[in-house]
Every structure is written in structure tokens, then in C-alpha cells.
Amino acid sequence: ALDITKLRGQSGAITLDPGYKNTGSCESAITFLDGEEGILRYRGYSIEELAEKADFLEVAYLLIFGELPNEAQLQKFNTDILDQSIVNEDMKTVLKGFPETAHPMGVLSSLTSALTAFNPKSVNVDSEEDMYKAIVKILAKFPVLAAWTLRKKNNQAFYNKDTNLGYVESLLKMMFQQDANKTYKLNKTVVNALDKLLILHADHEQNCSTSTVRIVGSSHAGLFASISAGVSALWGPLHGGANQAVIEMLEEIKADGGDTSKFIAKAKDKDDPFRLMGFGHRVYKNFDPRAKIIKKAADEVLGQLGVDDPILEIAKGLEKAALEDQYFIDRKLYPNVDFYSGIIYRAMGIPTEMFTVMFAVGRLPGWIAQWREMRLRKEPIGRPRQVYIGETHRKFKSLENR
Ligand code: ACO
């Protein structure tokens, strides 16, 4: 038998914690999360209050710089972002090279990485001033790239930001305007709902994509490269990709006649890889406070937009059935942020494949804040160890002897 004590690293004992279930990777002053009680606060402010009273750009400022901005600070921040909102024309050439079938998240990650080529000075950020410049650049250009991933899918022209509009309004216009001249008719309900959704997604301490951003950034790879890696991590269905997977699951239940019990049984079956998408969370062992807000918002938004989506009723039925089921009770599995978010995106006319892109736009300030904190604290390069379980020393065999 393999004696792993003989294989350990030279620098003492190693803690093995697959998935980092109990391992803190850093100290952070950005987001407070109590999974037992279902509490989420950004810089000490409760998520419920921020979703109700703040707008997305204020929350972005709060997360990144630690304080709610006063009027002058907010105006400067907004102007600095607007000044950087033009994306280099050659980026359109990069985008045109993708097939229309490309998933928007793959395209977004690639474009974010490509930004480094067009903004080489944003790579080395040794002063706080350089850091600020890189931050406003990515905040300005990322929503443009996000909108363009949809335009690419729809084979439509790519437009830049309308600098007379707010952050969320201009994102919607870039996504949906028909042609260069046509003014896009903004719907206040849609703008407010998207603003709220982006706030609710803005940070969530050391989740998979944020840890990715911090670890990539810890090699001093640069902000845009770190964010691009974060987008890739978010794409997976166990993380941000769950919002797309939830709608696909609800559609499947609808097509199957609407009986949720069959899907609950499938989710409980350990021989079946199917999981109830939008359910369960690594940290929350209680209601995800964001899910509570989004569930309420889904009713309001669909009502105000006059959308009657049978999928909302299926989702509510599925939630009720799961919460009453012993399997879900024992494992403390509750709906997470993405159980109802897709229903709202859908009511706004956003295609399913774009849901995770919307999440990425929301999470951007969190990724930036965490990257900035990591750099300002001069954290060392992230480099976990392992417990080696492979072969011990083997003699090389030449090709003819294998
Ligand atoms: N459906 C059915 N069973 C589940 C689910 C689910 N959605 N989630 C967890 N379980 C079960 C597991 O099978 C496991 O059961 P066991 O103890 O009998 O083996 C137990 O609950 C614990 O689950 P783990 O996978 O160990 O929990 P972990 O913390 O590693 O995973 C995760 C958390 C990935 C979110 C998981 O709950 C999941 O896959 N959920 C569905 C995908 C999803 O909604 N992801 C979005 C998360 S929120 C976000 O990232 C924005």
C-alpha cells in the first residue's frame, strides 16, 4: 500500500480540503455572508436596503472603494467611466471572427482578454492611480462587450454607449436598439428590475469566479485578464450558468406536462446526475436572501409588464414541493439567487443564453473590488498544495518495451 506520509511536501503538513469547504483564502472587508442566518451585506450595508434604495453604480463604488459615494464622487466616477466607454473598432473584427453559434459567455471571456491587447498600459498597475484607470476602463467597456455578444448572436450591428444615458439604460439600449438612428424606448420597469438584479449579483465573497479572479490576479496578470478568467469560471452550471440551466429545466418540466414530482425524484436519485438547478448553495443553509427579493420582484415585474409566463407557476410549485421534501430539508437545500432571476430576464426579452452574461455584468464590481483589495494588501501569489496519490518512482520504458 502507498504510504502517503513518505510523499508529503518538504514544508510540513498539508491541509486537504477539496472544494475549499472550510478553508479561508484571504481576509476581506468587502462582503459579509452568514449562511446559517441567510444574511448578506456589502461593506456593512444589508442587501435588502441596497436593492431598495441604491442604484447599481453607487453599489459598484461602495464595493470597490468601501464607502457610499457622495454626489460629487458619484458624478466624477460616472464621468470617468463615460470617458472610457468607446471600445476600439478593431475589437469588432475580433468579434466578427466568432460563429453565431458561439456561446455569449465564451465570446465575452475572449473579448475581455482581448481588451488587454488594445489597452496595454492597463496591465501593469503598480500605483493606485493606475489601478483606478484600469478599473474605470473595464467598468466602461465590459457592458459594451456584453451587449455586443447579443448583437453577434442576432447578426446585428455593434453600437457604442449612449453617453446621455445611465449605466443600466445604456446597456439595454446597446443590446436592443434596432439601428443607429432609432432611439430605443426605455421601459422604467425593465430598467429598475435590471438595476436591482445587478445589485443582487454584485458580490458574494470568495465564490468560484471571485476566487478565480483573485488567484489569477495574484500572479499580477492584470485586471482584464483576471476578469476574463472570472467570466469563464462563472459560465459553469454549478455557478452562474445555473440561471440558464434553471429556465431550461423549467421548460423541460412544462414540456413534460408540468408534473414536478418526477423531477424532484430524479434530483434525489443518486444514480442520476440530474440536480435541481437553482437549488442549494455552498454557504447558505437557509433561504438565500437574494432569492427572497428576486421571487417578490418576479411577481411585480411580470405583473407590471403584463407578462403571463406559465413557467413562474411551475417554479413556485417546484420550490414548494422541494421545501416540503425530506431530502431537501435534511440537506438544507433552498432556492438560490438564480432560481427566479431567469424568469425576470425572460420577461424583459433577454434570451436564455444571455442570462449568465447579465450575471457577469452584475458581478463585475465585486470582481474588481476583490482584485483591488488583494493587490492593495500585497497578497502573495495563490498557490495551493496537494496530497500526491500517484505512482512512486518508476523506471522509464522505451517505446518498444511498452
Ligand atoms: N439537487 C439535488 N441534490 C442536491 C442539490 C441539488 N440542486 N444540491 C446539493 N444536493 C445534494 C448533494 O447531492 C449532496 O447530497 P449527499 O449529501 O446525499 O451526497 C448534498 O446535497 C450536498 O451537496 P454538495 O454538492 O456537497 O454541496 P456543494 O456545497 O458542494 O454544492 C452547489 C453547492 C454546487 C451550489 C450545489 O448545491 C448544486 O449543484 N446546486 C445546483 C446548481 C446551482 O443552482 N448552482 C448555483 C449556485 S448559486 C451561484 O453560484 C450563483
Ligand 1 — pocket residues by CB below 6 A?
Answer: 19, 207, 238-240, 242, 267, 275-282, 331, 333, 336-338
Q: What is the pLDDT, as a whole number, of residue 262? A: 94
Q: How far away, in angstroms, is 362 Cα from ligand 1 center?
A: 23
**pLDDT of 6 strictly over 60:** no
> Using an 8 Å Cβ cutoff, are 369 and 64 in contact?
yes
Assess whether pLDDT exceeds 50 at residue 8.
no
Please state, rounded to an integer, the average pLDDT across all residues of the chain. 94
Q: pLDDT tens digits, residue range 172-203?
A: 999 999 888 777 889 999 999 999 999 999 99
3-state secondary structure 95-149: HHCCCCCCCHHHHHHHHHHHHHHHCHHHCCCCCHHHHHHHHHHHHHHHHHHHHHH
Burial of 198 (0-12, 13-18, 19+ CB in 10 A): buried
Among protein residues, the one with the nearest Cα to ligand 1's atom 44 is: 278
Q: Which of 83, 281, 325, 330 is catalytic?
A: 281
Instruction: Evaluate whether 377 touches 218 at the Cβ level (below 8 Å).
Output: no
Place of cell 496595454: 120
69-101 pLDDT per residue, tens: 999 999 999 999 999 999 999 999 999 999 989
Count of all residues that appear for the chain in the document: 402
Q: What is the pLDDT of residue 148?
A: 97
Take residue 139 and report the three cell numbers written for it.
467598468
Gap between the Cα atoms of 37 and 126, Å rounded: 40
- Predicted confidence (pLDDT) per residue in 293-308, tens digit: 999 999 999 999 999 9
CB 210 within 8 A of CB 367: yes
Tell me which amino acid residue 50 is.
L
Span from the CA of 340 to the centroid of ligand 1 (angstroms): 17
- For residue 239, the ligand 1 atom closest to its alpha carbon is 50
Q: Which pTM value belongs to this model? A: 0.94
pLDDT at position 359, please? 98
Are the C-beta atoms of 335 and 291 separated by less than 8 Å?
A: yes
Of the given ranges (19-33, 47-61, 208-222, 286-300), which has the lowest mean pLDDT?
286-300
pLDDT at 271 (0 to 100): 97
The set of cell numbers assigned to 346 is 425572460
Q: Which set of grid coordinates corresponds to residue 213?
A: 479572479
Instruction: Point out the catalytic residue in the list 55, 195, 203, 338.
Output: 338
Whether residue 215 is predicted with pLDDT greater than 60 in this model: the reply is yes
pLDDT value of position 184: 82
> Are the C-beta atoms of residues 168 and 333 closer than 8 Å to each other?
no
What is the pLDDT, as a whole number, of residue 197? 97
